[in-house]
Structures are given as structure tokens and as C-alpha cells.
Amino acid sequence: MNLSTTIADVHFSTCLMNAAGALCVTQEELETLGRSRSGAIVTKSMTPAFRQGNPEPRYYSFPGGSINSMGLPNLGYPAYAEIIPKLRKFGKPIIASIAGLSPVDFLEAAQTITSVQPDLIEINLSCPNIPGKPQIGYDVEASRSLLLQLKDVLTVPFGVKLPPYFDPVHHEAVAGVLQEVGVDFLSVINSVGNGLVVDPDKERVVIKPKAGFGGIGGRMIKPVALANVRAFWKLFDGQMPIIGTGGIVSGTDVFEHVLCGASAVQIGTAFVDEGVTVFQRLEKEVSEILHRKGYESLLQCRGTLQEL
Ligand code: RRO
């Protein structure tokens, strides 16, 4: 089955890939992705300097999904600027995710990383886990100002990783800014922050940072993810490439994201739970669905969700 896709003129032989943050911090993890069936290598969001991240335990998986408060652990962008050229041998697109605690952080990372020419840059506007730092994506004016500055510096196609929005007014306001800036793709959604998971036996929280609050991912966020993919697909009249992320654990979930308008999908919680074999399992499952329904390619049904 043809699961290939194109985002901002970058060709992906399969549209399934890891989500930024999921097992993609170290060179070894990135090379494991290179050898896997992942359609791309997506890096952990990078900041100017190495970060240890938040204290452990900071990730917890449960039947409904996951909660994390990793706190941006990463090697720092100078290290990724050295690693990225070494990943080219795997012959698949490289997506560098950049983040920061201030606009200056983002701009520095953008300047350095653009010079090593990853295929795409994903600007993370939505980390929910830095104490005292709200998600930039929830401040439309701050996002606008940051993106306009980044646009001047970036020489590779770039997109934004957005937090989930829960009201059409917010989707419209954000889409307006993204249209004005001229981003090349959207990646939606980041984890749903800030949730709280409770262990009723121990009568306590399950992760240590921020008194147990963290970003929710996995199965339970799929309807929120689908709504965001669909809302932006419609607001951009089907012309904006969208990478759908959130709640993908089966081929059916991939299919649903594509029906809503995704051109590609990223896997976070299920990849952490299952390891790299998740990509071939999902490939097989979604291929079977498409075959059974008589489609010749995944993109044939992109955005074709029917309304009642
Ligand atoms: O590192 C994290 O805590 C983290 C990040 Br940067 C993000 O964007 N989303 C998330 O769920 N965790």
C-alpha cells in the first residue's frame, strides 16, 4: 500500500513517524529511528544548552494513555547540529524540533540548526512542563511575534507544534496568525496540559514534578487531536499540510487522523510503550484497512471525512 506523503516538498516514503520527545534525545535513539520503519527522524525539542530535565519519576503510562513532565531534557542544539549530518545516511527526512525558555533561545537554535539543513524544522510552541513558563501557543500575540522573528532566520521549511485548542474562536485566532506568518506545516497536537493522574491505591500522584501535573498523551486524547486536525484542515481549506499526533495506537487511529486531514502522523505514547516495532505494526494495520476499503493510497482519503 502506498503510505507515502509530501510535506513542504519533502518526500516521506511512509507517513508514520515518531513524535518529538518520544525516544529521540540521544544519538543512539535517533540512529535507532534511522534504522526503523519510521518515515522520518524527529528530534527531541532542543534548547541552547544540555538540560537534565525534571526530577524522576517524570513519565507514567497507564491503560488510558500517559502523563509526562520531562522538562525538556535534551543535549543542547550544538550537539544536535553535529548529530544531524550523521543521520543523513539513513536516507529519510530529518525533522529538528526547536524549543526554548525565551525568544532568544528559539532564535539561537534556529540560526544554528538551519545551517545544518534538516529537511524540516518544527517549532515547539507547546511544552506544558516548564515550571513558571506557560505554553507559548496559548498566547497568540507572543506566538506571532516569535514566529515573525524566526521566519527571518530560517532557511528550511518550518512548521509549528501546537497545543490543543478547545474552542473554535481560538482555532480561528491561531490560524490567522499562522496565515500571516506563512508557516509551511502544522503539527497538532502536543500533549494535553496540564492533567493529573492519581494512583488510588497509594493515594498519591504518579509523577514527581509540579506536584503530579503533566501533559496527557495516548489513547484518551484522540478526540481532542482529531478535532484540532479537522479544525485547522478546514480553516486552511485543505491547503496546509498537517501532521496529526495524539492517541494513535492502531491502524484505525491513523486512518481517522488522515480522514480528518492529516498528511502524516506522529506516534508518541505507543512508541514509548512498544518501541520501534510500532511503526511496522501500524503500517500493516492501516494498509489492511485501506486495502479492504478499496483505496490505492493513504492520501486518497485525506480530509474526506463526511458530515451528517
Ligand atoms: O519535555 C517535556 O516535558 C515535554 C515537551 Br518539551 C513537550 O513539548 N511536550 C511534552 O509533553 N513534554
CATH assignment at residue 28: 3.20.20.70
Best residue among 72, 98, 136 to mutate for probing ligand 1's pocket (most ligand atoms within 8 Å of CB) is 72
- For residue 200, the CA-to-ligand 1 centroid distance in Å is 25
**Domain range spanning residue 9?**
5-56+72-192+218-301
| Residue 86 placed within a domain | yes
CA Rg value for the chain: 18
- For residue 293, the CA-to-ligand 1 centroid distance in Å is 36
Ligand 1 site, CB within 6 A: 21, 45, 68-72, 99, 124, 126-129, 190-191, 215
| Residue 213 placed within a domain | no
- For residue 41, the CA-to-ligand 1 centroid distance in Å is 17
Q: What angle do CA 287, 93, 258 make, to 5 degrees?
A: 35
Q: Which residues contact 88 (CB under 8 A, 6 or more apart)?
A: 94
* Burial class of residue 204, CB neighbours in 10 A (0-12, 13-18, 19+): exposed
Best residue among 54, 68, 162, 213 to mutate for probing ligand 1's pocket (most ligand atoms within 8 Å of CB) is 68
Q: What pLDDT tens digit does each residue of the chain (308 aa) get?
A: 999 999 999 999 999 999 999 999 999 999 999 999 999 999 999 999 999 999 999 999 999 999 999 999 999 999 999 999 999 999 999 999 999 999 999 999 999 999 999 999 999 999 988 888 889 999 999 999 999 999 999 999 999 999 999 999 999 999 999 999 999 999 999 999 999 999 999 999 999 999 999 999 999 999 999 999 999 999 999 999 999 999 999 999 999 999 999 999 999 999 999 999 999 999 999 999 999 999 999 999 999 999 99
Per DSSP, the residues of the chain read -B--EEETTEEESSSEEEPTTSS-SSHHHHHHHHHSS-SSEEPPPB-SS-B--SPSP-EEEETTEEEE-----B--HHHHHHHHHHHGGG-S-EEEEE--SSHHHHHHHHHHHHHT--SEEEEE-----STT---GGG-HHHHHHHHHHHHHH--S-EEEEEPP--SHHHHHHHHHHHHHHT-SEEEE---EEEEE-EETTTTEESS-GGGGEEEEESGGGHHHHHHHHHHHHHHTTT-S-EEEESS--SHHHHHHHHHHT-SEEEESHHHHHH-THHHHHHHHHHHHHHHHHT-SBSGGGTT-----
Closest CA to ligand 1's atom 5: 127
Closest CA to ligand 1's atom 7: 127
| Residue 204 placed within a domain | no
pLDDT score for 131: 83
| Residue 85 placed within a domain | yes
| Residue 127 placed within a domain | yes
Closest atom of ligand 1 to CA, residue 44: 6
- For residue 297, the CA-to-ligand 1 centroid distance in Å is 32
| Residue 65 placed within a domain | no
Closest CA to ligand 1's atom 8: 127
Count of structural domains, the chain: 1
CA gap 95, 119 in Å, rounded: 6
| Residue 151 placed within a domain | yes
CA gap 80, 243 in Å, rounded: 22
Active site residues: 127
Closest CA to ligand 1's atom 1: 72
Best residue among 56, 191, 197 to mutate for probing ligand 1's pocket (most ligand atoms within 8 Å of CB) is 191
CA gap 33, 256 in Å, rounded: 24
- For residue 294, the CA-to-ligand 1 centroid distance in Å is 38
| Residue 144 placed within a domain | yes
Closest CA to ligand 1's atom 9: 127
